[in-house]
Structure formats: C-alpha cells, structure tokens
Structure 1
C-alpha cells in the first residue's frame, strides 16, 4: 500500500491559490467561532455556566444547519475547483501558463456541472452509492484487517464511512479526467471503477483517515499548550471561559486538518484512483449488482439517461 504522500504534497503545494482560499474560508469560520465562544464566556461570567451552556448547545444545533448551507454554496465549489486543478496537474504535469487558478478552476467546474446544485447532487449521490456498497456488497473487515478491532465491526464501519470522503472526491476527479459532459454518466463510470478496484482504494482511504485522526490530535495539543497557559491564569469562577478555550483549541486542530491535511489526503487517494482507472475498463456487469443495493445508483443512472437524452434533443434540428 503506497500512499504517495510526498508526491501528493508536492502537487498540492502547486495549487497555492486554492490553499490560500481554503485558509481564508476556514479562517473566517474559526474567527466567527472564537468571537462566539468569547461571547459565551462573557455570558458565563455574568449569568453563570448554565446560561452559557444552554446557548452553546443551541448554537451547536444552529451551527450544523449553517455549516450545511456553507458547504452547499461555498465549500462544494471550493473543493471541486481544487480537485479540478489537482486533476489537471496529475494528467498533464502542469497547469496552463498565465492563468488565475481560481478563475480557471471555477470555469472548468461550471463547464461540466453548470450549477452548484448539480455538483452537490452528484456528490451526494456518489456518497450514497459508496456507503451502500461498503455496507452490503463488500466485506470491509476483510479489506481492512485491524486485529485489535475484530470485535468492533461498527467502529471499523464508521472509520470506513469517514474515509469515503476521499474516494468520492476521487470519483469527482474522474469526471474531469473523462471530459464527459454528462457528469452523471461519468460519475456512474467512476463508481464502476471503484467496484473493480475497491480493496486497494479503500485501504488507502482508511489509512489516510486514521492519519487524519493523528493529525487532529497533534495539532489540537499544539493549540492547547498556549490556550491552557491562558486558562491557568483565569480565576476559578471563569470555568466556562476555560471550557471555551478548550473548544477553540479543538476546533483549530480540526480546521488545520481541513486546510492542510485533507487536500494532501484527497490527492493521495486521487493518484491511486486515477492509476487504477488507467488499467480498468468500467464493467457494465456491475450495474445490476449495484442497482440491487443502492437507490442512489438507480437515481444516478436515471439522471445520466435524462441528461444524455436532453443533449441528443438539443442537437436535433
């Protein structure tokens, strides 16, 4: 199992505009969380920790909805644009000369997906199909032999589910590589490629997911050192302020993963996926097997047929 982290890191570093864009988007998110936690600390010092705790849990509920909107209208386009750039480098060795990376990538994404809503739909369908496959057709415990977890299949399954993020991003990369204007059909072919090469792809994705956990732990500890020092100087009555510093350190650790580790992990999986795709022809025999276990795959096929028919009608006199 070769993760190709060195090559992946080298490719990611060549997409510096998108690294800055990611840092900016997540930096604004971190700043907002920091301001809100500061406000909660103030509320806790005035009204007590109970009042601050109520607001904190209400914010968790509202924040989940807000993050979903952010993901659907900003992060999908950001991630797809970054994948388009990385795919171009992998395929051609370089980016077109004299381009704006963000403008070029946005144009490439919109030329295939037309609207962010289409991109979001394709991504959600891919995720749904991959999840169904790994819960039904494939024996993930056999592909990811972790002796210490043999009796904890649910934990292994959860780790595998988290790892599918890197694989679904690789399927999106495959849609760019095929240059197929019917993105639903391209995604369908990408899923067939995964079915025919699922073991090495899943092993790499799971290994990267476990590394991401280590990365979060390390970066969180790094942030906890200065924040813990500040917390030591706070009076005992400021218990919620100390808790807020802990939460902020944890959020910064997770944000560092989003900004720094995820692009490298995505590129590593993408390299493996595209290499497998070079020697693998999508086998239509897999379609009936996948349809039997995945409603999302049936929807994907229907959307592919619908888009294909629409294009045929558009060129008819």
Structure 2
C-alpha cells in the first residue's frame, strides 16, 4: 500500500490531531495576547529601558513550550501510537477489523501491545536514545574519510538529514513492535525494540532516501507556511501602529511570534503524521522478510550504551520488566 493511500485511509487521526493542536494554538495565542498586554503596560510604566518585557516574553515562551510538551507526552502520544497501529494493520491486511472505528481500534492496540501508554512512551524514548547514538557512530565513521575532497560537505548534509529523521525513526521501530505483537510472537517489547533497531541499521539506504525527501518537504513547508502567516500579521501590525510609529517594531515582533506559533502548530498537526507514515511505510517495506543480523547486533552493542540497555532489558522476566517500566514512567 502506498504512503498516499495510508494517509487517505487514516484521515480521522489527522483530523483529531488538527483539532487538538488547533485548540492548543488558540489557547496559546490568547495567552500570548494577555502577556503582551501586561508587557505593554510594563513598557508604559518603566519605559524603553526596562527588561521586564523581555523577561515576561521568555517566561511566556517557556509556558507555551512546556504546555506543548505536556500535550504531546500525555495526550497526543496515545493518538500517535494508535495511528501507527492502524497504519501497520493497513500495511499488513489492507483494512482494519469491521465494526471498529479507527480511533477505538488504535487505542485498543496500544493497550494490547504495550499495556499502557506510559510503557509505550518509555520504550519509544529508549529506542530514540539508541538510534541517536548509532547515528553519531555512523557519522564518526564517515569522519575517517575526511581526507576525501568535499566529503565534509556530504557528511554535513547527511548529518542534517539524519538529525531531522531521528524524530521519526523511533516511531518506525514502534511499528515493528506492534507488528510482532500482532503476530503473537513470544517476546517482550524490549526484545522487539532491540531487533527493530538492528533492522533499521540494516535498512538505512531506503530509510535515508525517504528521510531526504522528508527533510526537503519539512523545510519547504515551514518556510512557505511561516510567510503565509507572517505577511498578513505584519501588515495588520503596521495598520495598528499607523498613529504610533514607535510601536511598529514591537508589534512587528509580536506578529512574527504569532506566525511562528501557527507554523509550529501546522507542522505538528499535519506534517509530522504524514512524515511518520512515510517513514513507517518505507521501514516496513525495507525489513520485509528480513531477519536481524547477529553480527550487526553485536557491533551495535559495542557502539551504543543505550542499545546495550535495550538488549539487557530484553532478557529480563516479563513481570519484573513491567514493574520497572511503569515505575520509571511515573
């Protein structure tokens, strides 16, 4: 099944993300407006030399950023994993079981495969750390060829691509965990995660190709979307300050902040799930009928301490492992 088909068949998840992020954007902009009003009052009271407004804006950004992290870790994460579960089922069978909505089926899969969203989140973060270390090792290996003319530029480009793609690789490995659980494999999630990372390292060529297209798409979308939001907001700020030119720069700065928040919201709501689907689809096709290489597994044990942790956890008894994961997730 193509990536486009997977996207069109999972529209309910995209709409849910858009709704949740849309509500967040509205709340964030209202909060920003209130803080700007307070900042404007401080500006009037203390004058141009006051640092109060700058401090207030830093606090505002911190609160908005913190709110976004909380939303993604404790509200949207189960939506993301549920979405991946549905994508895996569509790749495997072309449909989801009849009589179940996508959202309900995705939530059910999270509970069946991980027990709780906390467990899935902890596994995800462990995979993310292992893949990051492996990618750094790959780049260090590339540095050994620095004597080749132009190789540093190539390594720099590859590093940029891998850094962005890292945000989506762990979801691809999570899709492998879900696939193994759906196949009723007698292995815990850590063993599946460990094998999934090895298979990722084996399939880097196809994944890097998809990641390259994704990086270009993400940057192009970000630039275009920011301009779409920034230009009218800047125009509005200019109209509001026609009778008070001294405040033009101030309102222009606020317009840019608003454009950034809206652009970030659109990226998280729409682009991230689209890229995730593309990466999961490429990963699943690349590892089809592949088995994890024992030699590569042993090599990764020596270059990544976090991968070694994954491997050690995969050998723990299931009850002890669950207790430890839940405790570390709290």
The normalised TM-score by structure 1 is 0.86
Q: Map of 1:217-228 to 2, 5 A cutoff?
A: 217-228=223-234
Please report how far the alpha carbon of residue 287 of structure 1 lies from its aligned counterpart in structure 2 after TM superposition: 2.0
Question: Structure 1 residues 271, 54: closer, same or farther in 2, change over 3 A?
Answer: same
Per the alignment, do residues 155 and 197 of structure 1 end up closer, same or farther by CA in structure 2, a change over 3 Å counting?
closer
The verdict on how the C-alpha distance between 1:286 and 1:299 changes in structure 2, with shifts beyond 3 A counting, is same
Cross-structure match for 1:11: 6
Task: Give 1:307 shift.
Answer: 4.3
Larger Rg over CA atoms = 2
Question: Matched residue of 1:253: which SS?
Answer: helix
- Choose from 29, 32, 41 the match for 1:37: 32
1:204 maps to: 210
Contact 1:123 1:168 in 2 (8 A): yes
What SS does the corresponding residue of 1:306 show, helix, strand or coil?
coil
Q: Is the 8 A contact 2:77 2:117 kept in 1?
A: yes
User: Does 2:289 match 1:288?
Assistant: no
- d(CA) in 2 for partners of 1:100, 1:149: 50
Match of 1:184 among 186, 190, 205: 190
1:194 maps onto 2:196 in alignment:
no
Higher relative contact order (CA 8 A, sep 6+): 1
Q: Distance in 2 between matches of 1:34 and 1:44?
A: 15
Tell me if structure 1 keeps the 8 A contact 2:35–2:60.
Answer: no
- 2:309 is aligned, of 267, 288, 299, to 299
Choose which of 224, 236, 239 in structure 2 pairs with 1:230.
236
Could you say if the C-alpha distance between residues 38 and 108 of structure 1 is closer, same or farther in structure 2, counting changes exceeding 3 Å?
same
Moved more, 151-160 or 118-127: 151-160
1:1-317 alignment to 2 at 5 Å?
A: 7-48=2-43, 50-137=51-138, 139=141, 150-151=152-153, 153=155, 156-179=158-181, 180=185, 182-235=188-241, 236-238=245-247, 239-308=249-318
- Structure 1 ranges of 4+ moved more than 4 A: 138-142, 152-156, 307-311
Residue 210 of structure 1 and its aligned partner are, at CA, apart by: 2.5
Q: CA deviation at 1:155?
A: 6.5
Cα distance between partner residues in 1 of 2:8 and 2:298? 41
Which blocks of at least 5 consecutive residues in structure 1 are unaligned? 312-317
CA contact (8 A) 2:206 2:286 kept: no
Q: Separation in 1 of the partners of 2:14 and 2:143?
A: 35
Deviations 1:44-84 (A, max 9, x none): 33222743321111233344444333332122212111111
Contact 2:32 2:60 in 1 (8 A): no
Deviations 1:22-53 (A, max 9, x none): 01221122112201221132123322274332
